[in-house]
Chain A
């Protein structure tokens, strides 16, 4: 009978404590939803104000005094070339560093210093990297305010992040694979090259792509080394330059702008109608950043199952 059932229901102070606990769930949930919904709201607000400016012309036009005619073309070329330079100059060094730390380094104080140093470099503000690039690449090596100087600066900036992610990936490879290879007479490099690296590649790629997505959005460091806002040519080598090393090199030494700098310039433009351009620029930038993040997530998921 229902009336005879044992009822485990607290009263008094205990009931109060339980009630407080139950209510607290919704408070914490509220805070979480607030954080998550900000992302949704920002996306909505951007699309609301920028979508109308988004068109093929917007992607292929040069900057202009007129908001409706201004476009993102040089900035897109600049971002693309800058990322290529950054990737090719940073990835080999980052992976090499990670391999050295995990597989070859003597386990002594030097290694501890290298590791602490990397952790700190990852936390150095990007504008400091900008100053470094300005002094070393732009001035000391006389690269001027070129794509190469920008790419190298970003490379220095993302190397620490990429190293830390690659280390993580190398550590995830079961030691038995390496030990097996060594037991069969492989040299240390052979074991790394044929057994460790192939299994660490997905993790390394994930970390690298995330680091690149950070570099794509970098603004302050590039303003420091002199990325200009308004450029009326396509930065970087043209299609014809691919056959001509001299022209290719000259292309890499051209001055540049990137999408985030263009957004920055449009945001601060005193004419309000340029804010719509900034929104449209943000849509383009975020599409790129999200595509990179999605790619990283896909690679991670795909190789986790195997």
Chain B
């Protein structure tokens, strides 16, 4: 065999790499695939902006943000978003109050105390909770939590059939794996040296966990909580079924509230005709929801990146 002339060889290679039309067609198709996700975002933003613009032609920004009553279906109609935002805030508050301590304690146990074999068994079971469809949690919130737990305990006259607390309890169960799993990852990523140094100075296991590992993993833990908040705020079925559909400003968790997602589902179920103001309100509330969850997700993204940069 003769050695090919290097000039020709380059030609041949070039032909093979770039000359074949097939290769560029494939690159084109792959690029199109990647464009789908960008187009999805543009469509989401476009739809929300365009349709809520129609809404704001009828209802002023001022009324939307300054009125305190959300009453789209009865006269006199009123579109003050705060009642819905307050409903969302209330269920989020109680859900976090329950899920954050339990979730973080679980993360500390799995990362600092548990035998590796125990961890290998417990973590997948916990993560299975994350795979449960939320309509299932919603069913439990209404049946078990409200009917069998809250009403017998606190009295049926105190606890509404649809109440914020039952939704919050199941929301807490829903986000428990998110908080525990991501925090545990962050804690497990803290370098051994830090722990060894603390042990060497005579710290106990608890002291190492709370005063060394926890602060070192803080950005990951914050990211976990931010992601959990975004999920609670965007969750629909649990609040729509268990928290009811009465928009109101209250601090009593035994009363029913309507959240932003709860209202959106109500419209989706077909209460409002297309083109009416209350139908368009769907998009204005959707816009608000989108912006809130986006803010939490973006914040979480940067916190995750920070802890990745610190120790990986």
Contact = CB atoms under 8 A, between A and B. Distances in A.
B16 A187 contact: yes
A38 B129 contact: yes
Contacts of A267: 135, 138-139, 142-143, 241
Contacts of B139: 263, 267, 275, 278-279, 282
B13 A185 contact: yes
Interface string B6-30: 0000000100110010110011011
Interface stretch (B61-69, B150-158, B247-255, B294-302): B294-302
A80 to B, nearest CB: 16
Contacts of B159: none
Contacts of B227: 123
Contacts of B31: 100, 104
27 contacts: A18-B204, A24-B205, A24-B209, A28-B108, A29-B109, A32-B114, A35-B102, A36-B122, A104-B27, A113-B38, A119-B297, A123-B294, A123-B296, A125-B293, A127-B261, A127-B289, A128-B44, A159-B37, A187-B16, A189-B23, A219-B237, A223-B269, A260-B135, A264-B237, A275-B143, A279-B139, A289-B133
A160 B34 CA distance: 10
B241 A128 contact: no
A17 B41 CA distance: 53
A123 B133 contact: no
Contacts of B204: 17-18, 20-21
B47 interface: yes
Interface in A67-109: 92-97, 99-101, 104-105
Contact of B124 (A30, A117, A297): A297
Contacts of B114: 32
Contacts of A101: 34
B168 interface: no
B16 A185 contact: yes
A76 B240 CA distance: 23
A125 B237 CA distance: 11
A124 to B, nearest CB: 7
B90 interface: no
A32 B173 CA distance: 12
B185 interface: no
A282 B125 contact: no
Given A39-B125, A120-B294, A131-B47, A93 B33 contact: yes
Interface string B225-245: 001001101111100110000
A224 B293 contact: no
Residue of A94, A95, A264 ringed by the most chain B CB atoms within 10 A:
A264
B268 A223 contact: yes
Contacts of A18: 204
Given A114-B34, A289-B133, A224 B265 contact: yes
A28 B111 CA distance: 11
B117 interface: no
A187 B234 contact: no
B145 to A, nearest CB: 11
Interface in A181-195: 185, 187-189
A159 B132 CA distance: 19
A293 B131 contact: yes
The 4 closest A-B pairs by CB, nearest first: A217-B133, A125-B234, A96-B33, A31-B105
A169 interface: no
Contacts of A185: 13, 16
Contacts of A289: 131-133
Interface stretch (A132-140, A171-179, A233-241): A132-140
A244 interface: no
A286 B16 contact: no
B66 to A, nearest CB: 25
B197 interface: no
A135 to B, nearest CB: 5
Nearest to B42: A117
Nearest to B233: A125
Nearest to B210: A24
Nearest to A123: B297
B43 interface: yes
A35 B180 contact: yes
A282 B26 contact: no
Given A100-B30, A128-B286, A31 B101 contact: yes
B134 interface: yes
A47 interface: no
B109 A217 contact: no
A18 B109 CA distance: 17
Contacts of A156: 40
B48 interface: yes
Contacts of A96: 29-30, 32-34
B34 A97 contact: yes
A206 interface: no
Nearest to B293: A125
Contacts of A27: 105
Contact of B234 (A42, A127, A268): A127
Given A28-B109, A99-B30, A217-B134, A117 B38 contact: yes
- Which of B40, B134, B294 lies at the interface centre, i.e. has the most chain A CB atoms within 10 A of its CB? B40
B113 A29 contact: yes
B133 A219 contact: yes
A216 B133 CA distance: 8
A278 B237 CA distance: 14
A268 B241 contact: yes
Nearest to A42: B140
